[in-house]
A and B are shown apart, each in its own frame.
Chain A
C-alpha cells in the first residue's frame, strides 16, 4: 500500500465547483431512485448546480467485470460518456462506486495506452465525439467530505445516538491513487457522520464486500454470497448497528434486498435498514421524507425514523 495515493479533500477538490456534471447510475435511478434525488436535494441546499445529460448511457462496467463482454466496448462507452462531459467543460461526479471505479479505471487505461485511446476515439468519432481525458472523475461523497463544515452548519435534525455502520464499498477503496483515505482502514465517512452527532460503529466485517459485485448474486447466491453476507450482518448486529449506509446503489441492493433470504435460510432476522449516505445527509438537513424515496427499501426504516423523532409524511 502506498500512502501517497491518499489525498486531502482540499487538494482533491481545491475550489468548490459552482456546477457539476452528475453521472446517472442505472441502479441508482431504478432500484433506489431516492438516492439520486437525495443527492440533488443536498446539492441544492449547498447551492451547487447540477447538469445531467440524457445522452449519457450506462457506464457498462458491471457486465465487463462479469466477463460478459470484452474491454473494447467499455473503453468506447467510457470515452463517449466522458466526451459528453468534456464538451460542457465540467467535472464528473458519480454516486455509484461501480460507475466511479469503472470510469476511473477505464479512463486510466485510455490515458496510459495511446493505442486504446486511438481505438476508442476512432469508434466514437463515427458518432461525432472526441475524448481527450480532461474531465476529472469524482465521487459525490468526496464533495460531502470536502464540504463537511458547510453541511453540518445546515443540519436541522441531529443524528444523536443513531448507531450507523458504514459500508464503504470495494470499488471506491480499491482505487490506487487519489482517494480520500487508506483503502486498508478508511475512517472518513465515520468522521463525517460523527460531525452530525451520529455514533459510528466499527463492526468487525465493516469492510467485507456486499457480495453482489460482479454478478455472484446471480450465479453463486447460495454457495458464496449468503454465507458471506451472514458473517457481515452477524457482526453488524452484534455491534448494535441501527442503520447501515452505502455510497453505491449496487451495494445497497446486495445488503438490503438479501436480508429476507438470510432470515429464511439462517433463521435469524437482522432487520438493519440500508440507505445511501446521501439519503442520511438528506435526513439530517431536513429534506422531507417523501423526497428521499425510502419506499424502495426492502428493510423498512420505521425504527430509524422514530429514533430521529421524525414523522412519516413530514
Chain B
C-alpha cells in the first residue's frame, strides 16, 4: 500500500505555527476546491506555486516544505485567491506569515532586502517610496505646474510620530537585524511529478 499522509496523524491545530498572529482563523474550512489556484496569476505562469497545496501542507504541519522555496516569493499579494474563495480564507495573510518564517530561517532574505531600504527611508519621510533627490525634483516640478504645494503636505509632527511608531513596535530593531549575509539559497520545490513551467 502507498503510504499516505493524513491530517489526523499529526497534532491538532498545526497551522497555528504559521498563523502566529491569528489572522486566518478559518483555514480548516478549506474545501480544496482549487478556485484560488484557477484565479492565481502567478500559478498561471509558475504552476508549481499552488495555494491549495500550500494550505494543505500548512494544515498537515508541513509548512517547512515551502520555507526554502522560490515559489512563495512570487505571490503578488493580489488577493485573487481570497476574492474567489467560497469560504473567505484570507490566503494572503497566511502567505505573509509563511514569508516571516522563511526570513527567520534566512531563506529569501534577498527578496526582503530592497524593502528594508524602503522601510528605513519611509521611517524618516512618513511616506513610502519617496525617491532620492533627483526624483524629488521631478515631483516638485509636476506639483508646481499643478499649482499645489511642492511637496505632499506632511507635517514634521507626523514624520516624528511615524518614526516613533517604528521604534515602539520593535520594527526598527527588526529591520536593522535583516542582513543578506546570512542568506540561504532558495530553489523551486515541488518539481517531481508535477507540471512545472520552467
Interfacial residues, chain A to chain B (CB-CB below 8 A) = 1-2, 24, 26-27, 29-31, 33-34, 36-37, 52, 54-58, 60, 62-73, 76-77, 80, 101, 109, 113, 123-124, 126-127, 170-171, 173-174, 176, 183-184, 207-209, 211, 213-216, 218-220, 223-224, 227-228, 290-291, 293, 295-296
Contact = CB atoms under 8 A, between A and B. Distances in A.
B142 A293 contact: yes
Contacts of A80: 161, 165
Nearest to B131: A30
Contacts of B168: 76, 123, 126
Nearest to B127: A26
Given A57-B126, A68-B175, A71-B21, A228 B41 contact: yes
B22 interface: yes
B171 A55 contact: no
A173 B79 CA distance: 9
B139 A171 contact: no
A174 B159 CA distance: 30
Contacts of A34: 142, 146
Nearest to A34: B146
Contacts of B153: 24, 52, 54
Given A33-B142, A209-B76, A224-B74, A72 B118 contact: no
A179 to B, nearest CB: 10
Given A33-B148, A216-B74, 18 more contacts: A30-B127, A30-B130, A31-B129, A54-B153, A54-B154, A57-B127, A63-B122, A66-B77, A67-B100, A68-B118, A68-B119, A76-B169, A123-B169, A183-B83, A209-B80, A211-B41, A293-B146, A296-B142
B169 A70 contact: yes
A180 to B, nearest CB: 14
A216 B82 CA distance: 19
Contact of A67 (B103, B110, B165): B103
B155 interface: yes
B162 A58 contact: yes
Given A33-B146, A68-B112, A123-B169, A208 B41 contact: yes
Contacts of A218: 114-115
B7 interface: no
Contacts of A70: 100, 169-171, 174
B115 A37 contact: no
23 contacts: A26-B129, A34-B142, A34-B146, A55-B155, A57-B159, A58-B127, A58-B128, A58-B162, A67-B103, A68-B175, A174-B78, A209-B80, A214-B75, A215-B115, A220-B73, A224-B45, A224-B74, A228-B45, A290-B146, A291-B147, A295-B142, A295-B145, A296-B142
B164 interface: yes
B3 interface: no
Given A67-B96, A214-B77, A54 B158 contact: yes
Interface of B: 21-23, 41-42, 45-46, 73-80, 82-84, 86, 88, 92, 96, 99-100, 103, 110-112, 114-116, 118-119, 122, 125-131, 139, 142-143, 145-148, 152-155, 157-159, 161-162, 164-166, 168-171, 174-175
Contacts of A113: 22
B114 A77 contact: no
A19 B46 CA distance: 47
A219 B114 contact: yes
Nearest to A113: B22
Given A33-B139, A290-B146, A2 B88 contact: yes
Contacts of B142: 33-34, 293, 295-296
Nearest to A228: B41
Given A67-B112, A184-B83, A208-B41, A176 B76 contact: no
A34 B143 CA distance: 8
Contacts of A207: 80
B146 to A, nearest CB: 5
A174 B84 CA distance: 8
Contacts of B125: 58
A60 B119 CA distance: 9
A36 B139 CA distance: 13
A25 B98 CA distance: 28
A58 B21 CA distance: 23
A47 B42 CA distance: 44
